[in-house]
Amino acid sequence: MGRKYQIISADGHVETPPESWVRYLPEEFRPHAPQLIKLRDGGEAWLIQGQPLIPNGQNITGPGPIKIRGGSYFKEDGSPAVGAGDAAQRLREQDADGIDAEVLFPPVFAARLIESIAASDKDAYLALIRAYNTFLARDYCSVAPDRLIGNAVLPVTGVKDAIAELEYIASEGLRSVSFHQFPNGGGFAAPEDDEFWGRSLELGIRLSPHFSFGLFSPSLDFVGLGQGQGDPFAATLCQRAGGLPPVYTLAQLMVAGVFDRFPDIQFYFAETNASWMPWSFFVLDDNYEIFRGPYDRKLERKPTEYINDHCWFGIIRDPHAIQMHEHIPFDRLMFGSDFPHSVGSFPNSRQFLEEAFAPLDPALRRRMLLENPANYYGLDLNADITETPS
């Protein structure tokens, strides 16, 4: 009998030098490619058009020690550092941490920070997104697609570009996409987003926007009225909720009717942790009852009913959430090691989980570590998984 899933981390990160994916960039766009610069005092920094020099540090912590700057993708002998190697190295690192698979989010250097390039050359920006997604599909996840579950990057240049990239990643065999703005490219829900939501469902692509997307929290110029763009009722629902992402995103999706128009749509918000949920979710329901009259607004369902049916969440280093399983949507909660970032649990994830779950029913452990991620990402818990290369 082959190896089976025992622990699935639903939040890890691909961290890689730019040359691994920039090689898929057409020659005409090479002048726009990010570069890795060696620093005089050690480590490297990213040189990206339109951005200040951004040093490696917490993003490549691995087993530690944590560095704010001075981090490196390489060991002294020039070989890849822990967390910065190829797919085969990543599988060996999963073994070292006692896990069997990871949902992998993109590095910020291949996602958010290259957006500054779009202002001067949109085609170059889109080509960079395509290059990273090609690398992810062909060079990385293809080695063990059942253990390396990659999240592609979505551009922020409008719905048409987002759909084009969605269709491309589906053709390349990737099953999930990460994004940090609404499909229209901005911080607020818009009617044109519906075309993207519908196409994602048609293609079967999972929506994994990490901890949130769109504007993180609303601005309130006075109690009860949202400031600026967006639906003020969504801002009002978030009053007293603490301003934590993804609460405002959830409120926008509700009041925009996304959950009503797309009853099958699902979102996974990784790295949100969960100890905040009892209060924030109560507040959403309570604010709805308080303010729906003055706003003359009526939702088809209570806010928490939408959340319970459409949303999944991830924790890292949040043992309190595990103990609070009766007060949070535990059937939709997943664990993530956050490897190789600084606040994760590598190389002690198994020890962390054993301690956190020690007093609880083993069925709860299986639910979070296996059943929930398998349900969301369509993994077969009875299948033999890819063996780690020697």
**What is the pLDDT, as a whole number, of residue 224?**
52
Number of domains the chain is built from: 1
Tokens coding 303: 């806010």
CATH number, residue 258 = 3.20.20.140
pLDDT of residue 218: 85
| 61 lies in some domain | no
DSSP bridge pairs for 314: 334
- Give the residue carrying structure tokens 């033999």: 384
Domain of residue 215, residue span: 8-29+85-377
User: Are 172 and 153 contacting, i.e. CB atoms less than 8 angstroms apart?
Assistant: no
Residue 276: inside a domain, yes or no?
yes
Residue 50, domain member (yes or no):
no
Q: Six-digit token pair at 99? A: 């896990």
314, part of any domain: yes
Residue 41 lies in a domain: no
Q: 64 lies in a domain?
A: no
pLDDT at residue 222, as a whole number: 45
The pLDDT of residue 5: 98
| Residue indicated by tokens 């600026």 | 228
Residue pair 318/34 in contact (Cβ under 8 Å)? The answer is: no
The first and second tokens of residue 247, run together, are 């609460």
What distance in Å separates the CA atoms of residue 187 and residue 182, rounded to the nearest whole number? 6
The per-residue pLDDT for range 179-220, each reduced to its tens digit, is: 999 999 999 999 999 999 999 999 999 999 999 999 998 876
Distance CA 380, CA 366 (A): 14
Of 181, 290, 182, 301, nearest in space to 236 by CA: 290
Asked if residue 67 belongs to a domain, the reply is no
- CA–chain centroid gap for 275, Å, is 19
163-173 pLDDT, tens digit each: 999 999 999 99
What is residue 242's predicted lDDT score, i.e. its pLDDT? Answer: 80
Residue numbers in the chain where pLDDT is lower than 50: 222-223, 226
In a domain, 21, yes or no: yes
Type of residue found at 191: P
pTM exceeds cut of 0.85 = yes
